[in-house]
Amino acid sequence: MPKDFLQHVKPEYDVVVIGSGLAGLTAANVLGRAGHRVLLLEQHYKLGGLATWFRRPGGLIFDISLHGFPVGMRKSCRRYWTREIADSVVQLKHIRFDNPMFSLTTEFHRQDFTRLLVTRFGIDPRTVESFFDTARGMNFYDDQSLSNRELFERFFPGRGDVVRLLMEPITYANGSTLEDPAITYGIVFSNFMSQGVFTFQGGTDRLIALMRDELLRNGVDIAIRSDVEAIRVAQRTVTGVRVGGREIQARAVISNANLCDTVQRMVGARHFDRDFVEQAAAVRLNCSSTQVYMALQPDDLLDESTGDLLFSSVAPAFQTDLLLSRHITSRTFSFYYPRTRPQARPQCLIVSSTNARHADWATLSAEEYAASKQNLIETTLDALEKYVPDCRRRVAYVEAATPRTFARYTRHPGGASFGTKFEGLAVSRGLPEQIRGLYHAGSVGIIMSGWLGAINYGVIVANDVDALLTHTASTSHPAGSILAPES
Ligand SMILES: Cc1cc2nc3c(=O)[nH]c(=O)nc-3n(C[C@H](O)[C@H](O)[C@H](O)COP(=O)(O)OP(=O)(O)OC[C@H]3O[C@@H](n4cnc5c(N)ncnc54)[C@H](O)[C@@H]3O)c2cc1C
């Protein structure tokens, strides 16, 4: 008989959280810690959502989205998770750019960028300072009509090389374009510029294991392999969820699943005002990704000056639309040296990432798909050769993922890597005004996505839910139980 992953789930909770991405995990943790009765449901067999990893024979562990995040992770993890998690957030020192316009290595913070912009790119120091101050001063309530293109044109007219330095990492990270609102760029870029780029020592598997332990300590019930079929609504109020053919009552539901899927499928358009449904239908999904995972032979150790993150491109100029093409030659390489997982056998791993359109991969036949994946691997090895000479001989293991892979494992329509574009935020925040007790916490626009953005959005929404719940009956604080082991 198939295992019942919902065996120990109670019939009623204060809050059900759908999805265990970083926003869902954090919202569940904050609410559990506050004493609410929380159930966390995850359709996958692992917690973490896109903050994930996979294992391959020979002790290999590849991280999917552990490439870099701002220092703010440390503070958010200390406040909303544990000191042990926060203390494992460590800096990456070698952020490298290599393209036909320039080649350089930087620590990727304001001081170092100022030095580069002034001495190497010949920009007036007052312009540089004014640009950084403007970017840092941006916030949600600002005018959203200013585009990235206009922002750069205002400070660095005609300087394609400067725009490339400032914008390329953010575009590579999440597919944002020169036409996107400048505030989304300004906030994310300034977060990085405060102290540089950080990673998690021990890898994503260690982070998620620590988070799971903390959730259990805070009394959160967790069920994996539990695919929520519907969010129940009566008279414009959430009543619970349907999962595995079972009804679970809840006074609040937080969906960490994709926003569009939440509105259209899990709740259903009939429960919302018509103009809200139209607003939600107009929300664009973010782009997806391809990745190539490579492991060098054990003990073939690269010098760390190769870079932690390497933005490599052979395109003569920077064009954000080209970065989505299936035939792109640009790559972002993440190098994982033995210090990433000090406990493991010394080995260097490399993950190459590119943005990609799901549509370019969705309709390929099985043969075409296999050939395209192989082509992705071959062209990636070609690109890597410049930085890791003789890499075809040195790479002991290689494998590729495509937008189809991301769609399959996360349920994000189109395999969206960063949820939706910025307009999703208003819809996400508008849900409780439409349906009492219904919330969304997850990637919407680049401010509310990425590891830090997702965690912080989870906190914001948990606070909203806490306010709702504390208006009504008091709650008990039962001991947490993990309802299915990780397999
Ligand atoms: C290739 C790649 C590289 C990245 N690199 C970085 C990086 O370097 N730095 C950075 O900060 N960010 C990076 N990101 C982005 C970052 O990983 C995500 O923005 C963040 O992890 C998303 O968290 P989330 O809370 O929005 O939820 P997600 O991670 O999207 O998780 C949603 C969860 O909901 C679950 N779910 C969906 N539907 C249901 C259902 N019906 N029932 C139950 N569960 C359901 C899914 O299985 C999933 O676990 C990268 C992303 C990708 C794809």
Model confidence pLDDT, tens digit, residues 16-58? 999 999 999 999 999 999 999 999 999 999 999 999 999 999 9
User: Over the chain, what is the mean pLDDT?
Assistant: 91
Same domain as 317, residue 409: yes
pLDDT band at 471 (very low <50, low <70, confident <90, very high): confident
Domain final position from 417, 440, 457: 417
At residue 420, the pLDDT reads 87
Q: Is residue 42 part of a domain?
A: yes
46 lines ligand 1 (CB under 6 A): no
At residue 416, the pLDDT reads 87
Q: Is residue 333 part of a domain?
A: yes
Which domain, by its residues, includes 395?
Answer: 287-417
Q: Is residue 359 part of a domain?
A: yes
Q: Given a cut of 90, is residue 142 above it in pLDDT?
A: no
pLDDT band at 473 (very low <50, low <70, confident <90, very high): low
What total number of domains does the chain contain?
3
Same domain as 275, residue 385: no
At residue 479, the pLDDT reads 37
Q: Given a cut of 90, is residue 328 above it in pLDDT?
A: no
Q: Encoding tokens for residue 285?
A: 């999904």
Task: Enter the pTM of the model.
Answer: 0.93
Q: Encoding tokens for residue 301?
A: 């150790």
Q: Which of 65-74, 135-144, 323-332 has the lowest mean pLDDT?
A: 323-332
Sign of CA dihedral 352, 415, 149, 144: negative
Same domain as 310, residue 350: yes
By most ligand atoms within 8 Å of CB, the mutation choice from 42, 65, 405 for ligand 1 is 65
The rounded Å distance from CA 161 to ligand 1 centre is: 32
285 lines ligand 1 (CB under 6 A): no
Same domain as 331, residue 425: no
Share of the chain above pLDDT 70, in %: 93
Q: Which atom of ligand 1 is nearest to the CA of 19?
A: 34
By most ligand atoms within 8 Å of CB, the mutation choice from 50, 172, 191, 261 for ligand 1 is 50
Q: Encoding tokens for residue 211?
A: 């988070």
77 lines ligand 1 (CB under 6 A): no
Q: Is residue 253 part of a domain?
A: yes
Residue 95 identity (one-letter amino acid): I
Same domain as 400, residue 356: yes
Q: Is residue 46 part of a domain?
A: yes
Q: Which of 41-55, 189-203, 464-478 has the lowest mean pLDDT?
A: 464-478
Same domain as 341, residue 226: no
At residue 140, the pLDDT reads 66
Same domain as 376, residue 264: no
Q: Is residue 483 part of a domain?
A: no
Burial class (CB in 10 A: 0-12, 13-18, 19+), 485: exposed
Query: Contact, 133 vs 155, CB < 8 A?
Result: no
For residues 254 and 252, give the distance between their C-alpha atoms in angstroms, rounded to a whole number.
Answer: 7
Domain final position from 175, 195, 215: 195
Q: Given a cut of 70, is residue 321 above it in pLDDT?
A: no
What φ, ψ does residue 144 adopt, rounded to 5°? Answer: -95, 5
Q: Atom 47, ligand 1: which residue's CA is nearest?
A: 410
Stretch (H or E) spanning 289: strand 288-296
At residue 485, the pLDDT reads 30
